[in-house]
Amino acid sequence: MKKAFYILFAAVCLFILSCSGQKYTDITILETTDLHGMLWPYDYTEKRSVDASLAAVHGYVRKVRAEHENVVLLDNGDNIQGQPSVYYYNFIDTLTPHMISRAFNYMNYDAASVGNHDIEAGHSVYDRLVSEYKFPLLAANAVHTSSGEPYFKPYAIITRKGVRIAVLGLITPAVPTWLPDELYSGISFMDMTETARKWMPVIQREKPDLIIGLFHSGWDRSRNISEEGINDENGSVSVAYNVPGFDIIFNGHDHRTANEFFVNSADDSVLILNGGSRAQSIARADVRIASGKTKGKKIMRISGEVVTVAGLAPDEEYIEKFRSDDEVIKAYVDRKIGKSVATVTSRDSYFGPSAFVDLIHSIQIDITGADVSFAAPLSFDVKIDEGDVTVGDMFKLYRFENMLYTMLLSGEEIRSYLEFSYAGWFNTMKSADDNLLRFREKDGAVMLTDGKAWLRNQPYNFDSASGIEYTVDVSKPEGARVKISGFTDGRAFDPKMSYKVAVNSYRGNGGGGHFTEGAGISGPDLRKRLLKSTDRDLRYYIMKSIEQSKIIDPRPGANWKVIPEDWVLKARSRDYALLFGK
């Protein structure tokens, strides 16, 4: 009898403990970011298969969902720029639902933030996506200029097994620095920290169990975490420190990965995650929530991981689902628009005049009638082969969806602009034994990765000029290198006169600092210098130009050169090998 009693007593105690004790709910949150059109395991620009795409991401997501009951899938923006697959549905076929919305809906995303390159596509595209997505598109700091109310949804509440998860979306406020007004007419971009501080108490009144930041803004600990960094492009660290309440902050925009805990101003830890870019990896957070009848819900454990997706097999069902899209895009990029009598490569662009960049220069001047054109190699290492030129080749030649601006600059501002460009491009050489190009260095030596060096600046900031004759003397200090002798048509060049300049909209809005830091033109004044803009992206006009001419004969111009020429000749062969291998 005693034994039976004790067994019954123990069972009753266990029942009471189970009723009053804690229960656990495990949540897994996954984040993709900066896909830049990599929706299919194929690079439509380079016309080759790749090992990273949303198809592989979907395979990983399906695996996680099979293993875990409560999974949340988020995206952090910059998806509809970078590949012909998204350009086609942005601007060519605008009646079929966009491939990005069909792919994201198929994968059952729960929320996404807006990226600056998504805004770059213009109102007609991102407004359309808002209506096509079966989940909210978030950006609390993108507000109606007239009312100050959010243009997109500011936050979302996602529920998993009784657990309430709040997700606040923010976009980098530097959008106006890069894009023309017409792409975001009626929208203002507010400071991230100020906006997060405004919405945190609103979100907390929703009584969420977990608060997540979904910020299309980079993670950079070196940036100022005080209130000084107003409208910082990568302001995530300021929000994380100054606005307590976040449990996890997912980042994007800077194409880097991050996985660390960060202590905020309230001495609480925030998990920081960034999934990188182009479907190479995915950020993952695993959270355990404890709940009891008397204590409510409490976070017991948070862990983070950046999972490498590149190399995983693409999901077969995804591939089959979007096979017809793949065929449509391949037919689009393979369409012939003309012939080239020579092969051109961006590799020549780093050492002097090149056929690659001068093709852009000539078209920019033809379209605008400007006196001077500024342009740079927008891709580090690509070529267009002799023979048939296709639509896909144009994505190599001109990778971004920039408009073409015509602006007004003085002669001295043109020279200062070029001084700034070449300062970020060329070293000051003291002898023929020095490097011509500015490479990344460590302890005074050029850094090598797999035997190759990396440029200190981005190639798309290496602006040269057409329409004027000039030299760049790399034996002289920065700011005293560029000497302009006149226009290529024989006209005199006057530093005090004003001239029309053709330049892409990224640069014309201050991107890269050539106008602001180089030519010394302030933001408000820069807007006043704009004479006109094309209504379509520059790549569209380049394609139309080639279709009309049928034959292109790209040749490097002879309007500028780097001196001393004997130094440059010796340095070129060494630096070329460092950049591209022997």
Residue 264 lies in a domain: yes
pLDDT beyond 70 at 1 = no
What is the pLDDT at residue 13?
41
What is the pLDDT at residue 295?
56
Looking at the structure, tell me whether residues 290 and 429 fall in a common domain.
no
pLDDT beyond 80 at 9 = no
pLDDT beyond 90 at 232 = no
Q: Please compute the mean of the pLDDT values over residues 309-326 and round it to a whole number.
A: 96
What are the two backbone dihedrals, phi and then psi, of residue 558, each rounded to the nearest 5 degrees? -125, 25
Higher-confidence residue: 497 or 17? 497
Q: What is the CATH number of the domain that holds 367?
A: 3.90.780.10
Q: What is the CATH number of the domain that holds 66?
A: 3.60.21.10
| Contact status, residue 185 vs residue 123, Cβ threshold 8 Å | yes
Domain boundary among 303, 329, 355: 329
Structurally, the chain folds into a number of domains equal to 2
Lowest mean pLDDT among 12-21, 238-247, 318-327: 12-21
What is the pLDDT at residue 6?
37
| Buried/exposed code over 318-357 (b: 16+ C-beta within 10 A; e: otherwise) | bbeebeebbebbbebbeeebbebeeebbbbbbbbbbbbbb
| Contact status, residue 458 vs residue 399, Cβ threshold 8 Å | no
What is the pLDDT at residue 226?
61
Q: Rounded distance, CA 259 to CA 238, Å?
A: 17
What is the pLDDT at residue 222?
77
Laid out side by side, the sheet with 468-473 consists of 482-487, 468-473, 560-563
Residue 16 lies in a domain: no
Looking at the structure, tell me whether residues 305 and 352 fall in a common domain.
no
List, in order, residues 6 or more apart from 347 with CB less than 8 Å away: 381, 383, 576, 579, 580
**Per-residue model confidence as pLDDT tens digits over 470-529:** 999 999 999 999 999 999 999 999 999 999 999 999 999 999 999 999 999 988 899 899
| Contact status, residue 214 vs residue 138, Cβ threshold 8 Å | yes
Looking at the structure, tell me whether residues 310 and 378 fall in a common domain.
no
Q: Rounded distance, CA 52 to CA 88, Å?
A: 20
Looking at the structure, tell me whether residues 166 and 279 fall in a common domain.
yes
Looking at the structure, tell me whether residues 303 and 404 fall in a common domain.
no
What is the pLDDT at residue 581?
85
Burial class (CB in 10 A: 0-12, 13-18, 19+), 153: middle
Helix (H) or strand (E) holding 365: helix 355-368
Residue 156 lies in a domain: yes
Closest CA to 530 of 511, 552, 509: 509
Q: Give the N- to C-terminal CA distance of the chain in Å, as an integer.
A: 90
Residue 258 lies in a domain: yes
Q: Please compute the mean of the pLDDT values over residues 233-252 and round it to a whole number.
A: 96
Closest CA to 207 of 258, 241, 165: 165
Residue 12 lies in a domain: no
Which residue pairs, CB below 8 angstroms and at least 24 apart, start in 92-101?
92/332, 93/328, 94/124, 94/128, 97/132, 98/125, 98/128, 98/129, 98/132, 99/39, 99/322, 99/325, 100/39, 100/129, 101/129, 101/132, 101/133
Lowest mean pLDDT among 67-81, 284-298, 551-565: 284-298
Question: In 310-352, at which residue ranges do the beta strands (DSSP E only) sit?
Answer: 336-340, 344-345
Residue 17 lies in a domain: no
**Per-residue model confidence as pLDDT tens digits over 389-431:** 999 999 999 988 899 999 999 999 999 999 999 999 999 999 9
pTM: 0.88
Looking at the structure, tell me whether residues 526 and 377 fall in a common domain.
yes
- 306: its two tokens: 């950046």
- 176: its two tokens: 């106006």
- Residue 240's domain comprises 22-329
Predicted confidence band at 375 (pLDDT cuts at 50, 70, 90)?
A: very high
Domain boundary among 329, 347, 377: 329
* Mean pLDDT over the full length of the chain: 93
pLDDT beyond 50 at 50 = yes
Predicted confidence band at 187 (pLDDT cuts at 50, 70, 90)?
A: very high
What is the pLDDT at residue 99?
97
Q: Rounded distance, CA 242 to CA 231, Å?
A: 14
Q: Rounded distance, CA 301 to CA 269, Å?
A: 12
Looking at the structure, tell me whether residues 347 and 306 fall in a common domain.
no
Looking at the structure, tell me whether residues 233 and 191 fall in a common domain.
yes
Q: Please compute the mean of the pLDDT values over residues 306-321 and round it to a whole number.
A: 96
Q: Please compute the mean of the pLDDT values over residues 517-543 and round it to a whole number.
A: 92
Predicted confidence band at 12 (pLDDT cuts at 50, 70, 90)?
A: very low
Q: Rounded distance, CA 220 to CA 241, Å?
A: 12
pLDDT beyond 50 at 10 = no
CB count in 10 Å sphere of residue 374: 28
Q: Rounded distance, CA 39 to CA 36, Å?
A: 8
Q: Which amino acid, 347? A: R
**Per-residue model confidence as pLDDT tens digits over 266-275:** 999 999 999 9
Looking at the structure, tell me whether residues 267 and 294 fall in a common domain.
yes
Could you identify the residue written with the tokens 């792409």? 183
Domain boundary among 284, 314, 329: 329
Q: Is the dihedral of CA 156, 309, 400, 216 positive or negative?
A: positive
What is the pLDDT at residue 18?
47
| Contact status, residue 82 vs residue 36, Cβ threshold 8 Å | yes
- 147: its two tokens: 């009312």
Looking at the structure, tell me whether residues 352 and 319 fall in a common domain.
no
Residue 411 lies in a domain: yes
What is the pLDDT at residue 467?
98
Helix (H) or strand (E) holding 573: helix 565-580
Residue 229 lies in a domain: yes
Q: Please compute the mean of the pLDDT values over residues 544-557 and round it to a whole number.
A: 91
| Contact status, residue 57 vs residue 278, Cβ threshold 8 Å | no
Looking at the structure, tell me whether residues 546 and 460 fall in a common domain.
yes
| 3-state SS class at 238 | helix
pLDDT beyond 90 at 131 = yes
Looking at the structure, tell me whether residues 366 and 224 fall in a common domain.
no
Q: Rounded distance, CA 41 to CA 52, Å?
A: 6
Q: Please compute the mean of the pLDDT values over residues 293-309 and round it to a whole number.
A: 84
